[in-house]
Chain A
Amino acid sequence: MVIEETQTTITPEIVTVDDLIGQPAEAVPAASLPSGSPNVDKLEQWIRILDKGLSIADRGITILGKADNIVRNLTEVIMKNNSQQQQQPQQVLYQVQQQPQPMPAAVERVADAENHQVQQAAAEGVPAAEADQGKQLITAERISSVLSMLLNQCPTMTVSELKELIDRNPDTINTMLQFIK
């Protein structure tokens, strides 16, 4: 139904938002970017799962590293004992130093990544010790990878939503930047 306006008054008709909703303006639902946007919630849930996966993988790699150390020590001790029995200590020790046992795949991958970072840092003029401390060199490539992953999960996400997501989950995003290639 259409109601035509027939007002002819001279005084101004002034309204505020309180007249429209009968409540203070602060009670109006957020209009621009709701914090509980379904996109953001869904993505956050996915990121939490990913974060758990990453931390489990991280622990796994640490355990593998420890296991590798134990195996190496044991091998060394056994070889030493053998060499003592054969009375050829110098030769065996030389053999152990020159031909270390192959590392498990996961450990090898981490070691490679670290070496690569150190090499990269050296190429850029950063001292090796410094590069070793800052393992997570944030490159444009890594940022692009992380953004691709986020956008795959939520193609309609806006830059504002992305910023909000990063603000709310800084640690997780840092972890993703470290691990995702």
Chain B
Amino acid sequence: MREDQRITIVGLQGSGKTELTKKIVQDIYNSTGRRCLIVDLMDEYDLPASVATICRIKNKAQPVNELETIIQKLIINPCHKGVSIKKRYAALVIDETPQYWRSGHPLPPCAALLNHTMRHYNIGLICISRRFVQMHVDIAELSHELYIFRQTGANDLKRLSGIAAGLDDAVRQLQKYQYVHVDEERNFRICDPIPL
């Protein structure tokens, strides 16, 4: 994973998003030796400390401020015992992204800063959502790669068709745990389920 790479993962409940995310995080560690910072709203992640730091959200009903604090303290201005720690994480992984950054609303200050200046922090961004239409437009459309599991909503499929011609049809015909990988050139291919 290169610096400031953006990845979007979309899929309905139980489609395999979390498993794919864990695999991507592990691959990042294997290829770069750097860890990911996972913001875990639903307490689903249990990766070893060598691979990731997991931030659990306490106030699940209103998690925006906690994510802002996490971005501020661990990415924008990270310190450990008074010493600045730069380039600590390879990627910020945000599960259930629409719970923090709602579509149609401006990004909160720290998120907006990170979104605009990710390259300077040498960090990638992996955003996960159940529905494509709920993903913040700045995040979805700037993504270098998309991983899309089965979507059934008419609006989701319509918006996907705007990413690449025929993408909606490909997503519509996916089997359980299958997903479509869309690359930076907006070419896509159907991938088999990730082996557990």
Contacts and interface: CB of A to CB of B under 8 A. Distances in A.
A99 interface: no
B58 interface: yes
Given A3-B85, A5-B88, A31-B109, A25 B48 contact: no
A95 B77 CA distance: 85
Interface stretch (B64-72, B136-144, B160-168, B187-195): B64-72
A15 B69 CA distance: 12
Contacts of A30: 65
Contacts, number: 87
A12 B49 contact: yes
Interface string B56-79: 111100001110111001100000
Contact of A1 (B49, B83, B108): B83
B185 interface: no
A5 B47 CA distance: 16
Interface residues of A, number: 27
Contacts of A49: none
B40 to A, nearest CB: 8
A13 B53 contact: yes
A84 B5 CA distance: 97
A5 to B, nearest CB: 6
Contact of B70 (A5, A20, A29): A20
Interface string A16-39: 111011000110111110000000
| Most chain A beta-carbon contacts within 10 A, residue among B65, B68, B83, B108 | B65
A25 B58 contact: yes
Interface size class of B (residues with CB under 8 A): 35 or more
Q: For the complex, would chain A's binding face be called helix, strand, loop or mixed by DSSP majority? A: loop
B64 A12 contact: no
A148 to B, nearest CB: 22
Contact of B80 (A3, A9, A16, A31): A3
A16 B56 contact: yes
14 contacts: A8-B50, A11-B48, A12-B45, A12-B47, A12-B48, A13-B54, A14-B56, A16-B57, A25-B58, A25-B69, A31-B109, A32-B68, A32-B108, A158-B106
Contacts of A15: 53-56
A124 B195 CA distance: 68
B113 to A, nearest CB: 11
Contacts of B56: 14-16
A2 B47 contact: no
A16 to B, nearest CB: 5
Contacts of B105: 160
B87 interface: yes
A100 to B, nearest CB: 56
B35 interface: yes
Nearest to A3: B85
Contacts of A18: 58
Interface string A62-100: 000000000000000000000000000000000000000
A7 B88 CA distance: 12
Nearest to B105: A160
Interface in B9-68: 34-35, 45-50, 52-59, 64-66, 68
B108 A10 contact: no
A21 B50 contact: no
A31 B86 contact: no
A10 B48 contact: yes
